[in-house]
Each structure stands twice: as C-alpha cells, then as structure tokens.
Structure 1
Amino acid sequence: MTRSEVSGRMFKWTFVLGEYDIDYKPRAAIKVQALSDFLLEMIQPYEEEVWRVFVDGPSCLSGCGVGVVIIAPPGENSKLALRIDSRVTNNEVKYEAVLIGIQAAREIGASRIILYFDSQSVTEHIKGVYEAKDDRMLKYLKLIKAQAESFVDWSIEQIPRDENGEADALAKIAASLQEVNTQEVLHVTRLIFSMDEEIFPVSEDSWMARLIKFIVHKELPED
C-alpha cells in the first residue's frame, strides 16, 4: 500500500464509486450448509430426469424374445434380453416387450420414462388412439396401465424401425439362441409368464399353480 501506483488506483476507484451510496460490511464466513443447500437447489437427481427406454419384441421361428435398452439421463445405458418360452402370438409378444420395459425401468430406479417402440398398433392402443377389441389385448392394456402407475410421469412414442435396431438385435439374439453369451447384455432369463393370474387363470389343483406362485409372488410351497 506504500507504492504510489497502488494508492493512485485506489484514489481513482474512490472517485468513481463515490457517487453511489455503498454500505460496506465485512464478509461473513461461508458455512458448509450453504454449499449443501446450493447443491440441492441446482443439481437434479437422475431419477427425477427422464429415462429413455427402447423395447422390441419380434417373433421368430425358434421362439420369442424381448430386447430392452434403458438410457439413463447421463447417457449410460443398460441392456436386457429375455427369451419367452411360453406360447404367445406375435402381437402378444409386443405387449410383453412393453411390460418388461416398464418393469425393468422401475427396477433400475427410474421415476420418469419415455418408452420408444416401433409398433404403431401397440403404441396407438396404449395411447388410446386405437380401440382394442380383443379380450387378451384389453387385459394387456389394463396391466400395462397398472404397472405404469408407479412412475411419476411416463409416455410411449412410436419411432421408425431403424431407430430401434439395438433393442431389435437383443430380442432376436434372445429368441434364436438357447443361451445368450455376451457381456453387453445386462440380464438374461427365460420367461414363463410375465402376466398375472388374471390373464392366465390356473386353478389351485393344477401342477402349474405352485410354479406360478413362486415366479410371480416368490411364494414357496409349505413342504
């Protein structure tokens, strides 16, 4: 402060700022809580952002498969391939794909999703643009809407087939091979029923009843 050039600059600043009514106060220490409040205010957690879910469910001669690609808000993706060994039609496997995509997104922790599918009929049925008349399709729609209620917000959009190539490839791999052996696939399983007993009614005396209770509700027999 003893240097003349420094004192000269301070005199200029005093002259320029003198026309303003400025009240100077010492700065208080910034507490850690202020930084925490700032982070909570400015940073959105991933689950509050929109997750993108691509699904596909083509039917092949060797079986049916479902492919799901989930892209998190930061851009990281998870892949899921499932083989369906139960007898379902080509239309039914498409609804199965939507159900599995919804369930996978819920399990991974997403609360807001946009589901992308290249099937116009399924997409428009879920949106309510087309009216589903088949009883099984109506039950699928009912179950999809029930599953989707667990999200804060969700929607489904139709995309061109060439934009859904990754999910389609996973579905075809799962359908054509008995086992999927690739590090890119997050999880592989064989699905017996992804629907509940309302769509596949089975009596308590049936040999399938105990299997369904375990698969759907994780209930073991008493013995």
Structure 2
Amino acid sequence: MNPWVVYCDGSAVPNPGRIGLGAVFTEPDGTRHTLSQAAHENGCNNEAELRALLATLRELKLRGAGTLLIHCDNSVVVEQVGGAAAKPIARLASLFDEARALLNSFDQANLVWIPRHRNSEADALARAALGIAEKRVVKTSRKRR
C-alpha cells in the first residue's frame, strides 16, 4: 500500500517563544494538504517540532490515513520518537510518549530525519503561522582571479 508522504516542521520564535506548526502531506492518490497553525503554548524549538508532529498525526488520523512516511528535520524528535537509545528530555517526556503512542496507532508509520533544506515548505508554513516571512537564502558568487 502506498503511504501518505508527510513533511512537518515546528518553529519557536524566539527560542524559546511562540510556537508555529507546519506540515505538508500528500495522500497516496497525489492529493496535497497543508497545515499551518500557531500553538497555544510557548516553548523551545524541540517542543515546537514535537507539537508539529503531534498536530500532523492527529490530522492524518482524522483523515483516515493508514500508512505514513514522515519526514522531520529535527534529529532529537526522530531519535526520541523512533525509540533509539537517546538521552531523554525530561520536560518533554509526556509529549514524546504521546507521539509514540499516536504513531503506533497507524497501520504502518516510518519517521525519518531529513536535512533542513529539504523541509523548506513545512518550515515556511510553521513560520507563516506566526506571521513571520519565509527565510530567504541569498547566494553570493565570488569570481576567482
């Protein structure tokens, strides 16, 4: 069965500060959806990333998704939720437990780490939820002499 393909990201501005959540998910038939919302809580970047994952998983559950391939650019979230032997963040332990339980409630779900530059659309949605413009990368070239 083809999976729902998911990219999620959270943003804390400043860090710690207000939390924005963003996600892009594509159904097996190619239909795309986005999520962009501000969280009611303040927190750090890791909490923002975790809350973005939770909000996305809840939305996917409501939509009846069964098999998921989730991309996240936060290695701490991927390690903690994935069950790797990572040093736990005590303050966020209950949120990590909730994410693991929700992830395990799907038929199949794989959470994988990706580099930040491959998650730009979800990042832009998380920042937009806070009223912050998309990060712009300015490339400069130097001529060699």
Tell whether the structures are fold-level matches, with TM greater than 0.5: yes
Structure 1: give runs of 5+ residues left out of the alignment. 1-47, 178-223
- TM-score if structure 1 supplies the norm length? 0.54
**Equivalence for 1:102:** 57
| Aligned twin of 1:139 | 94
**Partners in 1 of 2:78 and 2:123 — Cα distance?**
16
Relative CO higher for 1 or 2, CA cutoff 8 Å, sep ≥ 6?
2
Matches within 5 A, 1:154-173: 154-173=109-128
What does residue 82 of structure 2 align with? 127
Match of 1:54 in 2: 7
The structure number with the bigger radius of gyration is 1
Structure 2 gaps of 5+ residues are: 133-145
Show CA shifts across 1:92-124 (max 9, x none).
Answer: 111101111111111111111011101112111
Greater per-residue strand proportion: 2
Percent of aligned positions with the same letter in both sequences? Answer: 28
Provide the residue aligned with 1:115 in structure 2.
70
Would you identify which runs of 4 or more consecutive aligned residues in structure 1 move more than 3 Å? none
Q: What letter is aligned with 2:11?
A: P
Whether 2:38 is the aligned partner of 1:77: answer: no
Change (3 A) 1:134 1:93: same
Residues matched between the structures, number: 130
Partner of 1:90: 45
Structure 2 length as normaliser, TM-score?
0.81
Which protein is richer in helix relative to its size? 1
Question: For residue 19 of structure 1, what is the aligned residue in structure 2?
Answer: none
